[in-house]
Chains A and B, each alone.
Chain A
Amino acid sequence: MIINHPLLGPRDASEFVYLGDASLINRPDPDAQNAAELFHTYSYERANPAGEHRELWYHEQGDRSWLVVTRNTLTHAITEVEMARDVALKQGRDR
């Protein structure tokens, strides 16, 4: 499987480590009233779709960047690759 890195071009998946659902970027507010419930959902509940899935990959044997990869779990076709940093910034995070 080839992941088209936004900065470095096409790279073999063996250079990457898979983390999982890209929703992990959205860590809940630990000061929220229902923080325990939010963190339970954040830690354990996954949609696990059969189809398009946004997921985090770490380029461990490359530039050590985190990527958000949109991959079809049925076909492994990758339709989009973004820097996780850019995704987080778009969502209003400061880094």
Chain B
Amino acid sequence: MDDITLQPEPFLGGYACAFGDTILSEITDMALISVAMPLNGMDKLQASVQTLWGVVLPAPGTCATTLDGKTRLLCQSPDSFLALLSDPPGPAMEGLKGAGYTTDQSDNWVILRLSGPLCLPALERICPIDLNTLSTDNFTRTTMEHLGVIILRQGPDDVMLLSASSSAGSFLHAVETSITNVKP
């Protein structure tokens, strides 16, 4: 029998495109895990997160970043978190030692980075949230062109967009089209 080796492919083939000074690119080197808090498990999860990442559990709608900047913990709702990792997810999932229910979500989300002067003008056309109220290092979950999305603001003109990998092409098309529409 042939020895088959499978090579992982990025959802959008490692897409990257410049629209003047605005750059839209796919991020392919990050992992994502969801962490659900067991019933009445706040103290145990807090202790594990503190030990593993050295951060306090963030409040809903906010995120906590580790000192080395490699991990971001996003609090989606009072008992649900997403950890965005620069490293493979295995050690983090084991490191929580069962204090939270973890699932590797890396294959379920496509991650885009949009930076540059057209960032906000392009997004405000397809997003119902007032992004001016979203401060740096915070995130929100909403829709863009009917597709669910997490927007993580990394700077004044720099956002990370996470959406379902199953509709990655449609999501990219929506963002690309909006950038083209606002391009001077």
Interface residues of A (CB under 8 A from B): 7-9, 11-12, 14-15, 61-65, 85, 95
Q: How far is the CB of B58 from chain A (nearest CB, A)?
A: 12
Q: Contacts A12-B128, A15-B128, A15-B142 known; A63 to B77 CB distance under 8 Å? A: yes
B76, A64: Cβ atoms closer than 8 Å: yes
Q: How far is the CB of A93 from chain B (nearest CB, A)?
A: 13
A62, B80: Cβ atoms closer than 8 Å: no
Interface residues of B (CB under 8 A from A): 39, 60-61, 76-78, 80, 128-129, 133, 140-143, 148
Q: How far is the CB of A5 from chain B (nearest CB, A)?
A: 9
Docked CA distance A65–B78 (Å): 9
Q: How far is the CB of B145 from chain A (nearest CB, A)?
A: 11
A62, B142: Cβ atoms closer than 8 Å: yes
Q: Which residue of A lies closest to B140 (CB)?
A: A8
Docked CA distance A45–B3 (Å): 63
B128, A64: Cβ atoms closer than 8 Å: no
Docked CA distance A37–B78 (Å): 36
Q: Contacts A61-B143, A62-B141 known; A7 to B128 CB distance under 8 Å? A: no
Q: How far is the CB of A20 from chain B (nearest CB, A)?
A: 22
B143, A64: Cβ atoms closer than 8 Å: no
Q: Contacts A7-B60, A8-B61 known; A64 to B142 CB distance under 8 Å? A: no
10 A-B pairs with least C-beta separation: A63-B77, A12-B128, A7-B60, A61-B143, A8-B61, A63-B76, A62-B141, A65-B77, A61-B148, A64-B77
Docked CA distance A12–B146 (Å): 12
Q: How far is the CB of B163 from chain A (nearest CB, A)?
A: 11
Q: List 20 A-B contacts (CB under 8 A).
A: A7-B60, A7-B77, A8-B60, A9-B133, A11-B128, A11-B129, A14-B128, A14-B143, A15-B128, A15-B142, A15-B143, A61-B142, A61-B143, A62-B141, A63-B61, A63-B77, A64-B77, A64-B80, A65-B78, A95-B39
